[in-house]
Amino acid sequence: MSAATLTDFVLANTTLTPVPLVPEVVLHSAAEAMDLWELTDHDQPPFWAFPWAGGQALARHLLDHPGLVRDQKVFDLASGSGLVAIAAALAGADSVTANDIDPLSLAAVELNAEANGVAVRTLPGDQLDSDAHGADVVLAGDVFYDAEITALVLPFLTRAAARGALVLLGDPDRAHLPRTRFTAQARYEVPVPLTLESTETRSATVWRA
């Protein structure tokens, strides 16, 4: 799809809606996952179309503790809707880069950043072999959803922390989260779409690497 077509697709299949745990932020969100997934013809669900629990918790934490990112260069891995990136920008980050391998995600991030009046740079493609482009703060919400992805993401996050970056993660107690590698910072009760999570609330923790 062209950039214009991607943007049109996001707009046609979402509604601008406040994020339940982070009402300061509005996102172009979908009502139902499976129907939209069929339309995208992707291998993975449309992560960009929903405010997932880990991302909501991490975004809430950044807005409640803006000193974590204020005046910092921020890199948001697997950005999805851009919720966490937008929260970092609203909290006063000097610059924010949102990375995702899904072109629809990057279209959604651009639309969502515009809707919230912030500047977020989008970066396509797999960046897991990079150093997060020298970012001072590396953020990741909901990235430990299966063993394969965890094995790919963990070395990236570990390298960033080893070189001195602040690495913060949001996760709703998914089975593949390597808890012993991180330190819990805060815990939130997060409203989530019933159609996605089979519950109306999930607990999510913000972790520091």
Phi and psi at residue 199, to the nearest 5°: -155, 160
State the pLDDT at residue 36. Answer: 84
42 pLDDT tier (thresholds 50, 70, 90)? confident
pLDDT digits (tens, 9 = 90+) for 104-132: 999 999 999 999 999 999 999 999 999 99
193 pLDDT tier (thresholds 50, 70, 90)? confident
197 pLDDT tier (thresholds 50, 70, 90)? confident
Does pLDDT of 3 surpass 80?
no
152 vs 143: CA distance, rounded Å: 10
Kindly state the average pLDDT of the residues 29-37: 79
103 vs 117: CA distance, rounded Å: 21
Contacts of 13 (CB under 8 A, 6+ apart): 30, 36, 39, 49
State pTM to two decimals.
Answer: 0.95
4 pLDDT tier (thresholds 50, 70, 90)? confident
Q: What is the CA angle 17-175-23, rounded to 5?
A: 20
State the pLDDT at residue 199. Answer: 86
Kindly state the average pLDDT of the residues 50-64: 97
Alpha-helical (H) ranges within the chain are 3-12, 33-40, 53-64, 83-90, 103-115, 147-162, 194-197
State the pLDDT at residue 1. Answer: 65
31 pLDDT tier (thresholds 50, 70, 90)? confident
Tokens coding 1: 């799809």
